[in-house]
Chains A and B, each alone.
Chain A
Amino acid sequence: MSERLLIRGGRVLDPLSGTDAERDVLVEDGRIAAAGARLDATGARVIDARGLFVAPGFVDIHAHLRDPGLEYKEDIASGTRAAARGGFTTVCAMPNTEPPCDTRATVEYVLRRAGEAASVRVFPIGAVTRGREGKELAELGDLAEAGCVAFSDDGAPIADAMIMRRALEYASAFGRPIIDHCEDPSLAKDGVMHEGAVATRLGLRGAPAAAEAAMVERDIALAEATGAHVHIAHISTRAGVEAVRAAKRRGLRVTAEVTPHHLTLTADAVAFGCAGGDALVYDANAKVNPPLRERDDVDACVEALADGAIDCVATDHAPHAVIEKLCEFDDAAFGISGLETAFGLCMRLVHEGRVPLARLVEALTLGPVRALALEAHVPGIGTLAPGAPADVVVLDPERAWTVDPSRFASKGTNTPLAGVALRGAVVATIAGGRVVHEEEVAVA
């Protein structure tokens, strides 16, 4: 049950209203009741946010909760606990489960499990094609009706351009975007990391940046041809970013997300790890798809996040079991467990003065909401407007902490950031008026 809650004295950042001021935020019956100076807190539980920032709960439109079927990697309970710890009050669950989320029954299962076990709101994303095989459309109408907010074959690019075109056209009837994992499979081939000098050093097969750019350009052409909305998942290259920027300038319905790791890490992390040093480590925890790119690509992503060419940050949280990473690099699974490090990692950009905190907050809240039009499903989501769901996060941008995967709520300890110091922490997370995370340890 929700409680009456007063978040007292924090500096409130609300991207919708543009608020950046010290406010109390009052929560009642799971909704934002009011935000203002010195609100009456009679009978309310008080969270002291003085000296901290208060923002709408983060929205992750790209997470792999692995449930159903792959619960050994993650399940809805553990994945949403990880979300809560990361400040996320909404996660969109990607459909590459077993079975894939390509039927109403699976969507209903996800929503039922979320109702039983989730710490935060779960929106299912449905598969575009049956079995995510890229051949025949799944029953998108049924999936939309059952509660899918978008469609994606994520992990698998939709290689067939005609299927992609039909999917865009058909899905537009339900006001749902197609999220595409843009990577030309014939170019990316057997690549296990970014093609470039680091891959050459390591003797690993590379996937070239052009594999992403080629499919981003194709999808933009299809968005133009159909007038439908395409959302580019986890963009990672300068060429991809520039294509999206140009498409937006032309007024096309193209949106894009970027992950915290593509905003901060380069292919060097694969060779040498994130902790520094010049010894080769072949860090399988830095193996991710799309791969970590070059400094210039990272810079392009950061610039585009700052200026809005990229709409939002999404984690691409991809938890895996230990043995799926503790093996030869070629054989290791792709993916980073990212929900719990997302804010701290992105805060690097704020501390470096490259992205203002207010813009980062927007890119974690209103940005993703608008990218997938989530306000159509939950009015007020991603804002602190009165009447909005009481999804609130309390942040300490200065708090330093060291990433310790053994303390993750996620079952996936696969992060290249183990032992890395981050500055910026989620102090408390309130989802639907319920405190789902509270930082228990005060760290200097």
Chain B
Amino acid sequence: MTTVRMAPETTLTPDSPGESAWSRRHLLDVDDLTADEVELLMTTADAMKEVLAREVPRVPALRGTTIITLFYENSTRTRSSFELAGKVLGADVINVAASGSSVTKGESLVDTVKTLQAVGADVIVMRHGRSGAPYLAARHAACSVVNAGDGMHAHPTQALLDLYTVRARLGDVRGRRVVIVGDVLHSRVARSNLWLLTSLGAEVTVCAPPTLVPRGLGDTHEGLLPPVRVESSLDRAVEGADVVMALRMQLERMHGGFVPGMREYARLYQVNAERLARANPGALVLHPGPMNEGVEISHEVAHGLQSQVEEQVANGVAVRMAVLWLVTRTRAKGVA
């Protein structure tokens, strides 16, 4: 397919030196990104922020490119964020909502991916309830696959937008102390954040009741798991923190015996003003959304001065523009 692509601004011309640092057709996770690749994503997102700030936030950079969002799970915010990102760049965006797993649907994931590709997809943005599903898709796709969240495994664009948000306020994250509190066991957001933050030198503490800490985390599993500290007391964990990230606590966890109930969970693990006061002054509060205010985060903190929740959402569009731009550049250049 021959398309005329126009860079949204001068730093994004195909010949710019930074861009040669990007050779990935897919973005499946952040666990294997190099520091250069992360840097490129961040500076590209800066450029995208500038586009978004324009009076008419539209550039034809991805004109002629077809992006299909394939969501096996409901998600308003991530899907619309990707959709908007694609549209700002001039791409055609088609949303496909697939319900249930491939088994109940009758068509296999691989067949679905091949069909969407035959329809003309250049990029498939995929959300799936099963960990690893985008890896399967990527193995059988000639087009780009961007992981918009798979099971309990990874949510790379969320981690990237979280990083972008933190850097915008604090600069380099090296040596910064980050606390991720909540249901890490079931959280793809946490897993991707742990990889990205630790790879850039942040000191990350995971805080959760032991029932919600995945096996092996906190032990030494070099290369297999990111190096983090595990702390079961939130009061201790937030001591001296620069960033506190609360995770969504799902009500059904009490049925699995993970926690006795939301009352005790909130009492022990809620990010509230009192606990935040133990963190460094001006510490940032992040939450991937949607928030259960009054459970994992208090209303005051969620909407307080330190909260970055709205910035996260806004930055999400810019970061996803950067991702879509970069993965499609490899196609334009014919990178396998």
Contact = CB atoms under 8 A, between A and B. Distances in A.
**A and B bind:** yes
B210 to A, nearest CB: 14
Interface residues of B, number: 34
Contact of A204 (B31, B109, B132, B217): B132
Contacts of A204: 131-132, 151-153
Interface in B184-221: 188, 191, 214-217, 219, 221
B109 A198 contact: no
Contact of B135 (A200, A201, A282): A282
B188 to A, nearest CB: 6
Most buried by A among B128, B130, B221, B223: B130
A281 B110 CA distance: 15
B202 to A, nearest CB: 19
Contact of B130 (A200, A280, A328): A328
A159 to B, nearest CB: 18
Given A328-B109, A331-B101, A200 B225 contact: yes
A328 B217 contact: no
B190 to A, nearest CB: 10
A326 B32 CA distance: 25
B27 interface: no
Contacts of A88: none
B102 interface: yes
Nearest to B186: A203
A310 B136 CA distance: 37
A331 B130 contact: yes
B133 interface: yes
A442 interface: no
B192 to A, nearest CB: 10
Contacts of A281: 135, 139
Interface string B87-112: 00000000000000111000011100
Interface in A276-305: 278-282
Nearest to B151: A203
A208 B133 CA distance: 23
A330 interface: yes
Given A201-B224, A328-B109, A196 B216 contact: yes
B151 A330 contact: yes
A278 B32 CA distance: 9
A330 B215 contact: no
Contacts of A424: none
Contacts of B150: 203
Interface string B50-80: 0000000000000000000000000000000
Contacts of B110: 326-327
A197 B219 contact: yes
A331 B103 contact: yes
A329 B130 contact: yes
Interface in A324-369: 326-331
B154 interface: yes
A198 B133 contact: no
Contacts of B224: 197-198, 201, 271
Interface string B132-150: 1101100100000000001
A202 interface: yes
A154 interface: no
A358 B225 CA distance: 40
Interface of A: 195-206, 208, 271, 278-282, 323, 326-331
The 8 tightest CB contacts between A and B, nearest first, are A203-B153, A197-B216, A282-B132, A203-B152, A203-B131, A328-B130, A200-B214, A197-B221
26 contacts: A196-B215, A197-B219, A197-B224, A197-B225, A198-B224, A200-B217, A202-B153, A203-B150, A203-B191, A204-B131, A204-B132, A204-B151, A280-B28, A280-B29, A280-B132, A280-B135, A281-B139, A326-B108, A327-B102, A327-B103, A327-B108, A327-B109, A328-B101, A329-B136, A330-B130, A330-B131
Given A197-B215, A278-B223, A328-B130, 14 more contacts: A195-B215, A197-B221, A200-B214, A201-B225, A202-B153, A203-B131, A203-B152, A204-B132, A205-B152, A271-B224, A278-B32, A280-B135, A281-B139, A327-B102
